[in-house]
Amino acid sequence: MEKPFILHMLTTAKNLSPFDVNMAMDAGWISAVPYINVEPSEVRGLVQDAIFSRSPKGLLRTAIFIGGRETKQAMDMLKMAKNSMVPPFEVSVFADPSGAFTTAAGMVAAVEKELADKFGTTLQGKNVLALGGTGPVGQAAAVIAAQAGANVRIIGRQLDRAERTAELCSEEFGDGKISIAAGADSDKAEYIKTADVVFATGAAGIELLSAEMIASAPQLKVAADVNAVPPSGIAGVDAFDNGKPIAGSVSGAVGIGALAIGNIKYQAQSRLLKRMLESDQPLFLHFEHAFEVAREFIKTSK
């Protein structure tokens, strides 16, 4: 009798995301077992309990999902999990804190598509503003875009926090191979004058880019908003918009709304969960892999 598929789902929060549980079960994981309020120091013990309870063959039907709220913490836990494996006792691990990695991947992939389709260009050399970019989605999106060749600036209400976040993204997540800048929200009216792309990744229900700023952006091409709660994070961009021209844009910029991004995010998360099911080798998945599958989905859905 074959072993059932078991996904051990770890989170540092007091509750596991019902969204993630539904995604796991729909992807084919028969059992999604929650572990809440997990301390990073507990990861090693939990991982080794999981890997030593099954034979190497049985472990092909076992995996670990890492949730939580913080990007760095999730990436640290992913590394701890990987370092806790004892070959041939190994399982796949997928980190996606608050869905931030797959959401960011979906947003950047959608922007990349609009740049190609509407403007015949790529992210290479483009000036990108990540508004509200100090949070998990903004951090992941900033790194993904920078790795794709964009000049990225993380904008936050407090400059010192934006600077710390930009340094973290460049050095920790980008391995020092990228250089992300920082800026204060109070100066975004100046930054928008040279922006090609805007990511709105702040808290729900807060407008981060006004109609006046859009009208003052002479080279803006694409603006993407992950906020589905009114008011929109970007004026004139509806949650359902998917490459629709933004009213009042002097440069012909197009908008991408939260639900259009959400569709790609859903596909990316589902495909990575299924990839762990189907792989005969342990996988260690995060935002880079999410972007890879988001690109694949867009390419194959044309």
Q: Which domains does the chain have, with CATH numbers?
A: 6-95 (3.40.50.10280), 103-261 (3.40.50.720)
CB 74 within 8 A of CB 285: no
Task: Reply yes or no on whether the pLDDT at 205 is more than 90.
Answer: no
Per-state percent for the chain, helix, strand, coil, to nearest 5: 45, 20, 35
Sign of CA dihedral 35, 37, 40, 45: negative
What is the per-residue pLDDT for 268? Answer: 98
Measured distance CA(230)–CA(223) in Å, rounded:
17
Question: Can you tell me which residue has the tokens 């998945």?
Answer: 285
SS3 63: strand
Check pLDDT > 80 for residue 302. Answer: no
Confidence of residue 2 (pLDDT cuts 50, 70, 90): confident
- Report the chain's mean pLDDT, rounded to a whole number: 96
The residues facing 234 across adjacent strands are: 209
pLDDT for 90 beyond 80: yes
**1 pLDDT tier (thresholds 50, 70, 90):** low
pLDDT classification of 218: cutoffs 50, 70, 90: very high
Model pLDDT for residues 180-201, shown as the tens digit of each residue: 999 999 999 999 999 999 999 9
